């Protein structure tokens, strides 16, 4: 059995056929419908990301945050930190000059807590729709506008189909929500990619009935979201953080269950403090110890030979009071992990300006080539 050498086939005829096909496609569907991945000598660019507000999770995701133009699903048990993580992403995007929106299907968003996490609440767009169809139509319209950088839908389980809402209590509506999600995701995917929007679906956990072996857990809203998501994050509350007898937070375990932009299955633990959100200082301390940037001897933590605190909580307080040292350690950790100082972030206005520059550059190249061809045609005539 021999392997066909494709180079021996008539490449000239194939090229003509391909050019004709491309011309037909561009004529029917517009310029740019089909293109080479590295067209006009451009290098394939890294995937842009928006920081999650958690240094450990940014590292675990492999690209410095959640990918732009993709769908992310965050799921976990009740009170595990799903909305907290999503609001941290919103806060990071707003700090970088982005515009964000929350579709609050659960009607439970706390603006005071959102502000405590760093969100610019007066500038945050919020919608509290009545039905699942209305929520997804609003999401679709916002994404298609191209002006939104982060869109959070909280949550999939709360997207009630209109038929279910208008029916009686106890009526069975088999698969309505799953069909609604499947249709919405088919419509949304293309516009999400074009607009470079980070779309976060928060989801709840349900139990499969009659499962004897394996994991009985599943997520609400059918299977479509599992397929359409580029990143799936499983978040769960762990050990409580106590100050004397009072519980002031919890160690939260986060696992990247699916990742289309970097290797998956990475796990990270971070502190979520009640009323404050993810503790950046706690992560810097733990990752600093792992990277040998911060030394730990017994219960004492030290940096560059100087003691910064006895016990983890005291060391965290020191970093909070000394942002310059905290920033230094973070910078070294990011450099060691191959991450840039800030996750790549472009606002919608910057993205539009960048696209305009790209278009102008392409037109300039095309004009230059045309001028060269015209000059080459004129030369034989002048010689004659």
41-71 tens-digit pLDDT: 455 567 899 999 999 999 999 999 999 999 9
Which stretch, 21-30, 33-42, 86-95, 293-302, has highest mean pLDDT? 86-95
Window from 12-16, 178-182, 220-224, 270-274 with minimum mean pLDDT: 12-16
| pLDDT for res 354 | 47
Interval 101-126 mean pLDDT = 97
| pLDDT for res 372 | 65
Q: What is the pLDDT of residues 284-303, one digit of tens each?
A: 999 999 988 999 999 999 99
Q: Do 139 and 267 reside in the same domain of the chain? A: yes
Q: Do 269 and 304 reside in the same domain of the chain? A: no
Residue 295 lies in a domain: yes
Q: Mean pLDDT for the chain?
A: 88
Predicted structure pTM score: 0.82
Window from 25-29, 33-37, 226-230, 239-243 with minimum mean pLDDT: 33-37
> 337: pLDDT confidence band, cut at 50, 70 and 90?
confident
Whether 6 shows a pLDDT value over 80: the answer reads no
Last residue of a domain, one of 278, 306, 327: 278
Q: What is the DSSP string of 249-297?
A: EEEEEEEEEEESSS----EEEEEEETTTEE-HHHHHHHHHHHTTSEEEE
Q: Do 135 and 214 reside in the same domain of the chain? A: yes
Helices and strands: H and E segment counts in the chain:
12, 15
Q: Do 223 and 200 reside in the same domain of the chain? A: yes
Q: What is the pLDDT of residues 157-175, one digit of tens each?
A: 999 999 999 888 888 888 9
| pLDDT for res 35 | 82
> 353: pLDDT confidence band, cut at 50, 70 and 90?
low
| Residue percentage of the chain with pLDDT more than 70 | 84
| pLDDT for res 174 | 86
Whether 352 shows a pLDDT value over 60: the answer reads no
Residue 255 lies in a domain: yes
Q: ∠ CA 18-32-12 to the nearest 5 degrees?
A: 15
Backbone angles phi, psi at 125, to 5 degrees: -80, 135
Cβ-Cβ contacts under 8 Å for 170 (sequence gap 6 or more)? none
In the block, tokens 């998501």 appear at 229
Q: Do 221 and 300 reside in the same domain of the chain? A: no
Per the structure, the complete domain to which residue 285 belongs is given by 280-360
- Specify the CATH number for the domain of residue 144: 3.40.50.300
Backbone angles phi, psi at 234, to 5 degrees: -100, 120
Residue 187 lies in a domain: yes
In the block, tokens 């359409």 appear at 228
Structural domains counted in the chain: 2
Last residue of a domain, one of 278, 301, 320: 278
Whether 103 shows a pLDDT value over 60: the answer reads yes
Interval 316-341 mean pLDDT = 86
> 12: pLDDT confidence band, cut at 50, 70 and 90?
confident
């Amino acid at each position: 059995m021999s392997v066909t050498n494709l180079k021996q086939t008539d490449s000239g005829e194939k090229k003509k056929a391909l050019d004709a096909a491309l011309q037909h496609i561009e004529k029917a569907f517009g310029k740019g419908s089909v293109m080479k991945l590295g067209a006009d000598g451009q290098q394939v660019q890294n995937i842009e990301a928006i920081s999650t507000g958690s240094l450990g999770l940014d590292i675990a995701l492999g690209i410095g945050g959640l990918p732009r133009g993709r769908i992310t699903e965050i799921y976990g048990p009740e009170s595990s930190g799903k909305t907290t993580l999503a609001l941290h992403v919103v806060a990071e995007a707003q700090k970088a000059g982005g515009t964000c929106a929350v579709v609050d299907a659960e009607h439970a968003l706390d603006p005071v807590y959102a502000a405590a996490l760093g969100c610019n609440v007066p500038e945050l767009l919020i919608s509290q729709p009545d039905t699942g169809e209305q929520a997804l139509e609003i999401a679709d319209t916002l994404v298609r506008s191209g002006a939104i950088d982060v869109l959070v839908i909280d949550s999939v389980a709360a997207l009630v189909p209109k038929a279910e809402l208008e029916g009686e209590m106890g009526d069975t509506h088999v698969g309505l929500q799953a069909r609604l999600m499947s249709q919405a995701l088919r419509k949304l995917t293309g516009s999400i990619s074009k607009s470079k929007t980070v779309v976060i679906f928060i989801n709840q956990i349900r139990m499969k009935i009659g499962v004897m072996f394996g994991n009985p857990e599943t997520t609400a809203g059918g299977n479509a979201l599992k397929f359409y998501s580029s990143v799936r994050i499983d978040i769960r509350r762990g050990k409580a953080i106590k100050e004397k007898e009072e519980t002031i937070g919890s160690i939260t375990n986060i696992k990247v269950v699916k990742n289309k932009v970097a290797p998956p299955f990475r796990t990270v633990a971070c502190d979520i403090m009640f009323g404050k959100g993810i503790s950046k200082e706690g992560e810097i301390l733990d990752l600093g110890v792992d990277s040998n940037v911060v030394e730990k001897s017994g219960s004492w933590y030290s940096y560059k030979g100087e003691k910064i605190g006895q016990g983890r909580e005291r060391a965290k307080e020191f970093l909070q009071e000394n942002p310059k040292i905290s920033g230094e350690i973070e910078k070294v950790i990011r450099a060691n992990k191959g991450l840039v100082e800030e996750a790549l972030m472009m606002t919608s206005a910057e993205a539009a300006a960048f696209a305009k520059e790209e278009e102008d550059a392409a037109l300039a190249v095309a004009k230059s080539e045309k001028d060269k061809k015209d000059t080459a045609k004129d030369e034989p005539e002048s010689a004659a």
